[in-house]
Amino acid sequence: MSWQQTLNTTIHCAGVGLHTGRRVRMILRPAPVDHGIVFIRTDVPADRAVIPARWDLVADTRLCTLLKNEQGTTIGTIEHLMAALRGLGIDNAVVEVDAPELPIMDGSAAPFVFLIECAGIKVQDQPRRLIRVLKEVRVQDGDKVVSLSPAPVSSFRAEIVYDNTALIRRQEGFLRLTDGAFKAEVADCRTFGFAHEVEQMRKAGLGLGGSLDNAIVIDGDRVLNPGGLRHGDEFIRHKILDAVGDLYLAGGQILGHFQGLRPGHAMNNAVLRALFADANAWRREDAEVWTDRAAVA
């Protein structure tokens, strides 16, 4: 799709914040062309409420991606909604939230995909703004390595290694963001963690709303969730889901290939910072308009 898109109508949902444990109400609203994705905290004064979805506003990457605006207002756990917006091709939207983080829903992006599809998608009258990767950029932190390299479409390849459980060991996954691929291949894959980490997280004030209803919990070589896994490789699929959401903070769709060994929110943001730090590594361009807008509106 070459044209910008927004929601056809307003839609809302409610849920629990994964880390705060607070009840959260979220409203998704349409937005005009070139608006981008913008969060608005409705529980704070209006002059501090607006938080654009931008890579340079990422202030914390512990177990989620958290944004902070110049006035110090934050919004966290945004990655699953951002992934759903990118996966369904929403360029412009307003996200109103009455709490400091988004609802976790079931721990995946599927509920947000459902919301967007219920609201409907509206084709707008300006070409989509793209970010083309012109040369490889690479960041490394110990055994974690993430890169972006030139490619004609958006694609993601990732690998995770966990020596402490035979349930995962090593998993590798790939996603090419063509029509329908996000929903079909990764949208329903949930966030995950280990049972022994739960108490540590709660002492740090994190994971207060976590449960078997919104996260996969691993205990040794067992999945504690009664329904088990949705996919045998659900873990790596969720890592790719996170990367899709984190990279959408670039401010537009990236034409390039993401490669990650042990990726995570910190590394995903680091590679965006490396990309935009090198003016020769990227350029903005309008999508080629290959069809009549009226035919797809």
pLDDT in tens, the chain (297 residues): 599 999 999 999 999 999 899 999 999 999 999 999 999 999 999 999 999 999 999 999 988 999 999 999 999 999 999 999 999 999 999 999 999 999 999 999 999 999 999 999 999 999 999 999 999 999 999 999 999 999 999 999 999 999 888 899 999 999 999 989 999 999 999 999 999 888 788 777 778 899 999 999 999 999 999 999 999 999 999 999 999 999 999 999 999 999 999 999 999 999 999 999 999 999 999 998 655 544 444
Q: Give the CATH number for residue 59.
A: 3.30.230.20
203 and 177 part of one domain: yes
121 and 135 part of one domain: no
CA 294 to chain CA mean position, Å: 30
Apex 94 CA angle, 90 and 95, nearest 5: 100
272 and 183 part of one domain: yes
CB 117 within 8 A of CB 13: no
117 and 145 part of one domain: no
141 and 231 part of one domain: yes
Residue 9 lies in domain: 3-128+289-296
- Range list of β-strands (E), 163-256: 169-176, 192-194, 216-219, 222-223, 253-255
Residue 86 gets which letter from DSSP? H
Distance CA 191, CA 262 (A): 15
63 and 184 part of one domain: no
262 and 139 part of one domain: yes
Distance CA 150, CA 142 (A): 24
Which positions are annotated as active-site residues?
265
Distance CA 87, CA 94 (A): 17
Distance CA 297, CA 191 (A): 35
pLDDT tens-digit series, residues 157-168 = 999 999 888 899
Characterize the bridge pairing of strands 192-194 and 50-52. unpaired
Into how many domains does the chain fold?
2
Dmax of the chain from CA atoms?
56
Of the candidates 262, 236, 245, which has an alpha carbon nearest to the alpha carbon of residue 177? 245
116 and 41 part of one domain: yes
Of the candidates 83, 254, 91, 107, which has an alpha carbon nearest to the alpha carbon of residue 182? 83
Q: Which pair of structure tokens corresponds to residue 272?
A: 């965006």
